[in-house]
C-alpha cells in the first residue's frame, strides 16, 4: 500500500520519538539534558524497538551498540562495525541485526546512502569468522581483543548461538530510517550478504512505518446498538464519541474478513466460519503478541473458555475509530448503524485473542460466546481536527496496571503488612504510597524488594534485579505460597539489614549494592557459609576472579550473567 507522507507527518514521528525518549529518561533515572533534535534521533531507536520487540524502555539500551547512542546515553565509546542494534528472537529462531539512519529535515526524495551495505559488512564478516572459531574452540580474549567492549560482547553472544551444534537460527538484516525512498539492493550485493550468513534483508522507511502503524484500508460494517446502552459525548459539530457494550459475536462480525459477514448485522448463523481481517487493526501501534508471548492474551482465552459472562468485567474494552456513522434503520429500542472505514486502534490484542479462542474450539464457538460482551469506545474522526494516529498512540500508551500493582492487594501481602507492623517494621505494598503508615517505623521493606530477596534465596540472585514482572507474575505463587511465609519474610529482611550493616562497616574495602546482597543471601541459604563478613569477602573475591572470557565488564554486569552464577556455584560447591 502506497502512503503519501507529508512534512507534517514527518514531524509527527519526530514528536513521538521525543516523547518516548523523555519517557525513557524518566524510568531510567537519567537526568542528563539533551537538545530536542538529539531526543528525536535517539528516541527513534526506542520507538522502533518497543513496537517491534515489546522490550521495556529501560532495557532497550542493552540491545543497542551504535557508537553515537552509547556515547550520548552511557558515556562510552564503541565502534559498532556498521550494526547499530540487535535482538535475538529465541522462540522463532531469528537474529535481527539493525542499521539505523535518522534525518532531521524532510526531503521527499531522501534515501539511505548505498554505502551502508559496505558499512554492515564489517560486523557480518567479524561474526562469520568468530562463529567458525567458536566451533573449533571457546572464544578467548585474544579472539575478541580488537573489538570495542560492547561490540565484542554482542559478537561473542551471537557467535556462540550460531556455532551451537544443530543451530537453526536465521539472520535478518533490517535497515531502518525516516527516509522516503527504499534502498535498492542489487543482486550481487544480495549474494554477498548471503555469503555472510544473512537470510533476509528488509527495510523500514517513513512510508512503510506509516503503513505499519497508521495505514488506512477502508472497511465498513453494520451493527445494531440498544438505545438505552449507548452514551454519547459530542465534542463539536463534527466530532462524536460513543460508548456502549456489544456482544463478542458482534465484535467478531464487524472484524470479519468477509464483507458479507461484516454487513450481516443479525448474526444468528451458528455455522458461520469467521476469519480475522488483519487490515482492520492497521492503525493499532502494536502487532499481535500471541498467547505464548503474552499472559494477558492467554487470560483472555481462558476467560472465554471458563466464564464468558464475566468477560465484560475483566476486559478494558476496544477503541474503534470511524470516518462516519450512518443510521440505516431505526427500531423501537435500537438502531442499525453503518460504521464507515472502521479501524481498531486499541484492543487489537483482545480481538486477535478472541479469534484464537474460536480457532481452538472443537465444539460450537457461537454458543460459547453468546453470553460474552465487551465495552466499545467509538470515535468519529475528522482528520483535520482529530488525528487518528494520535488516538492510536495515546490510547496504547497510558499507564498500564503492572503485575506488581495487581499483587499489592493480594491477601498474603496484606497479611505480611500486618505481621511486619506487629513486629515494629514497615511493609510497603504499593508503589508511590507516600502517605502510608509504614513511614512511622524505623525500617521498612518494600514488597518488590521482598520478592527479590525470596527469589534470590530460591536460587536466582542473578535474575532478581531484572525480572520483577516475572517474580510478581508467573513465579508469584511459587515464591509467596509457601509455609511460614510471614516468618520467613521477616527473617530474610533482618538478614538483609545485617548484610547492609556489614558492608557499611567494610566500606573502606568494598562497595555495597542490593545485587550483591542478593548473592550473599543466596550463599548463606544454599551453602555451608554462615558468617556474613566471610561471605562478603568470598563474594568480592569471586567477582574479581571472574574474567568473562577476557572481556572487561563492570561488576554490576557480571552479577546478572548466568555464567557468573555458574562460576560462583562451582567456587562455593553449590550443587543444584
C-beta atoms surrounding 576 within 10 Å: 7
Q: How far apart are CA 548 and CA 434, in angstroms?
A: 42
- pTM for this prediction: 0.46
What sign does the dihedral 497-499-505-507 (CA atoms) show?
negative
Q: How far apart are CA 245 and CA 236, in angstroms?
A: 24
Name the residue among 226, 223, 279, 220 with its Cα closest to residue 251.
223
- The CA distances from residue 443 to 80, 83, 362, 440, 461, in Å, are 46, 48, 56, 9, 23
Q: What are the tens digits of pLDDT across the range 533-556?
A: 999 999 999 999 998 887 777 788
Q: What are the tens digits of pLDDT across the range 222-244?
A: 999 998 998 888 766 656 789 99
Q: Nearest 5 degrees, angle CA 206-CA 58-CA 168?
A: 70
Cell of 530: 554462615
Task: Return the residue matching grid coordinates 462516519.
Answer: 324
- The CA distances from residue 408 to 37, 430, 448, in Å, are 40, 6, 10
C-beta atoms surrounding 32 within 10 Å: 8
Helix 206-214 vs helix 388-395: crossing angle, to nearest 10 = 70
User: Strand pairing partners for 204?
Assistant: 176
Name the residue among 236, 235, 278 with its Cα closest to residue 255.
278
Please check whether residue 451 is in contact with residue 472, taking contact to mean a CB–CB distance below 8 angstroms.
Answer: yes
pLDDT band at 380 (very low <50, low <70, confident <90, very high): confident
Q: How far apart are CA 27 and CA 405, in angstroms?
A: 16
Range with lowest mean pLDDT among 59-68, 92-101, 461-470: 461-470
Compute the half-sphere exposure of residue 19: CA atoms within 13 Å on the CB side of its CA.
Answer: 11
DSSP secondary structure of 477-496? HHHHSSTTHHHHHHHHHHHH
What sign does the dihedral 315-396-354-56 (CA atoms) show?
negative
pLDDT value of position 576 = 67
pLDDT band at 289 (very low <50, low <70, confident <90, very high): very low
pLDDT value of position 364 = 75
For the residues 135-141, what does the mean pLDDT come to? 86
pLDDT value of position 262 = 86
Name the residue among 389, 297, 306, 311 with its Cα closest to residue 15.
389
C-beta atoms surrounding 426 within 10 Å: 18
For the residues 553-575, what does the mean pLDDT come to? 89
For the residues 256-283, what does the mean pLDDT come to? 76
User: Strand pairing partners for 334?
Assistant: 226
For the residues 510-515, what does the mean pLDDT come to? 91
pLDDT value of position 341 = 85
Name the residue among 98, 146, 141, 99 with its Cα closest to residue 126.
146
Which one has a higher pLDDT value, 276 or 95? 95
Work out the mean pLDDT of the chain and round it to a whole number.
Answer: 84
pLDDT band at 399 (very low <50, low <70, confident <90, very high): very low
For the residues 276-287, what does the mean pLDDT come to? 61
Q: What are the tens digits of pLDDT across the range 290-346?
A: 444 445 667 777 888 888 898 888 888 899 988 888 899 999 999 999 998 888 888
* First CA to last CA distance, the chain: 55
Q: How far apart are CA 256 and CA 250, in angstroms?
A: 10
pLDDT band at 221 (very low <50, low <70, confident <90, very high): very high
Task: Return the residue matching grid coordinates 562497616.
Answer: 505
pLDDT value of position 361 = 76
CA 322 to chain centre: 28
At residue 293, the 3 state secondary structure works out as: helix
Q: How far apart are CA 512 and CA 499, in angstroms?
A: 9
Q: How far apart are CA 407 and CA 417, in angstroms?
A: 13
User: Strand pairing partners for 378?
Assistant: 242, 320
Name the residue among 20, 66, 28 with its Cα closest to residue 47.
20
Give a three-class secondary structure readout of 196-213. CCEEEEEEECHHHHHHHH
- The CA distances from residue 544 to 438, 539, 563, in Å, are 38, 9, 14
Q: How far apart are CA 255 and CA 219, in angstroms?
A: 9
Q: How far apart are CA 418 and CA 172, in angstroms?
A: 53
User: Strand pairing partners for 233?
Assistant: 241
Helix 7-28 vs helix 36-53: crossing angle, to nearest 10 = 80
Name the residue among 459, 457, 451 with its Cα closest to residue 495.
457
Which one has a higher pLDDT value, 521 or 233? 521
Amino acid at each position: 500500500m502506497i502512503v503519501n507522507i507529508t512534512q507534517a507527518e514527518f514531524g509527527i514521528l519526530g514528536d513521538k520519538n521525543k516523547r518516548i525518549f523523555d519517557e525513557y529518561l524518566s524510568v531510567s533515572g537519567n537526568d542528563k539534558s539533551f537538545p530536542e533534535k538529539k531526543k528525536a534521533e535517539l528516541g527513534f531507536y526506542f520507538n522502533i524497538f518497543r513496537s517491534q520487540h515489546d522490550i521495556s524502555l529501560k532495557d532497550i539500551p542493552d540491545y543497542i551498540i551504535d557508537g553515537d547512542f552509547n556515547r550520548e546515553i552511557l558515556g562510552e565509546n564503541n565502534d559498532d562495525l556498521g550494526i547499530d542494534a540487535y535482538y535475538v528472537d529465541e522462540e522463532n529462531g531469528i537474529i535481527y541485526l539493525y542499521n539505523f539512519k535518522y534525518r532531521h529535515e524532510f526531503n521527499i526524495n531522501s534515501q539511505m546512502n548505498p554505502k551502508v551495505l559496505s558499512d554492515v559488512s564489517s560486523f557480518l564478516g567479524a561474526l562469520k569468522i568468530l562463529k567458525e572459531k567458536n566451533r573449533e574452540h571457546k572464544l578467548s580474549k585474544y579472539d575478541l581483543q580488537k573489538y570495542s567492549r560492547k561490540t565484542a560482547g554482542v559478537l561473542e553472544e551471537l557467535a556462540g548461538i550460531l556455532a551451537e551444534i544443530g543451530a537453526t537460527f536465521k539472520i535478518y538484516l533490517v535497515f531502518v530510517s525516516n527516509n522516503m525512498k527504499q534502498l535498492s539492493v542489487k543482486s550481487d550485493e544480495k549474494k554477498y550478504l548471503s555469503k555472510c550468513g544473512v537470510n533476509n534483508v528488509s527495510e523500514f522507511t517513513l512510508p512503510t512505518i506509516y503503513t505499519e502503524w497508521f495505514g488506512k484500508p477502508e472497511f465498513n460494517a453494520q451493527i445494531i446498538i440498544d438505545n438505552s446502552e449507548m452514551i454519547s459525548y459530542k465534542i463539536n459539530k463534527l466530532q462524536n464519541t460513543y460508548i456502549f457494550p456489544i456482544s463478542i459475536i458482534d465484535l467478531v462480525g464487524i472484524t470479519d474478513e468477509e464483507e458479507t459477514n461484516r454487513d450481516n448485522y443479525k448474526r444468528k448463523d451458528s455455522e458461520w466460519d469467521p476469519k480475522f481481517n488483519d487490515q482492520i487493526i492497521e492503525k493499532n501501534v502494536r502487532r499481535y503478541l500471541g498467547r505464548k508471548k503474552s499472559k494477558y492474551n492467554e487470560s483472555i482465552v481462558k476467560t472465554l473458555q471458563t466464564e464468558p459472562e464475566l468477560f465484560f468485567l475483566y476486559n478494558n474494552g476496544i477503541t474503534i475509530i470511524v470516518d462516519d456513522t450512518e443510521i440505516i434503520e431505526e427500531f423501537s429500542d435500537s438502531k442499525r448503524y453503518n460504521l464507515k472505514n472502521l479501524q481498531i486502534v486499541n484492543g487489537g490484542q483482545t480481538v486477535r485473542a478472541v479469534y484464537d479462542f474460536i480457532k481452538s474450539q472443537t465444539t460450537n464457538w457461537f454458543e460459547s460466546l453468546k453470553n460474552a460482551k465487551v465495552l466499545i469506545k467509538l470515535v468519529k474522526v475528522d482528520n483535520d481536527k482529530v488525528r487518528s494516529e494520535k488516538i492510536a498512540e495515546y490510547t496504547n500508551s497510558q499507564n498500564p496496571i503492572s503485575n506488581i500493582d495487581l499483587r499489592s492487594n493480594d491477601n498474603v501481602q496484606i497479611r505480611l503488612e500486618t505481621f511486619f507492623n506487629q513486629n515494629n517494621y514497615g511493609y510497603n505494598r504499593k508503589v508511590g504510597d507516600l502517605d502510608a503508615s509504614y513511614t512511622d517505623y524505623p525500617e521498612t521493606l518494600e514488597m518488590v524488594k521482598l520478592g527479590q530477596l525470596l527469589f534470590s534465596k530460591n536460587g536466582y540472585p542473578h535474575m532478581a534485579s531484572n525480572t520483577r514482572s516475572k517474580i510478581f507474575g508467573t513465579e508469584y505463587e511459587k515464591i509467596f505460597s509457601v509455609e511460614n511465609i510471614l516468618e520467613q519474610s521477616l527473617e530474610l529482611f533482618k538478614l538483609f539489614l545485617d548484610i547492609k550493616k556489614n558492608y557499611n562497616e567494610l566500606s573502606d574495602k568494598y562497595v555495597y549494592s542490593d545485587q550483591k546482597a542478593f548473592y550473599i543471601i543466596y550463599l548463606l541459604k544454599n551453602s555451608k557459609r554462615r558468617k556474613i563478613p566471610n561471605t562478603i569477602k568470598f563474594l568480592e573475591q569471586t567477582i574479581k576472579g571472574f574474567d568473562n572470557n577476557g572481556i572487561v565488564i563492570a561488576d554490576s554486569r557480571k552479577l546478572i550473567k548466568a555464567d557468573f552464577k555458574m562460576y560462583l556455584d562451582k567456587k562455593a560447591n553449590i550443587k543444584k
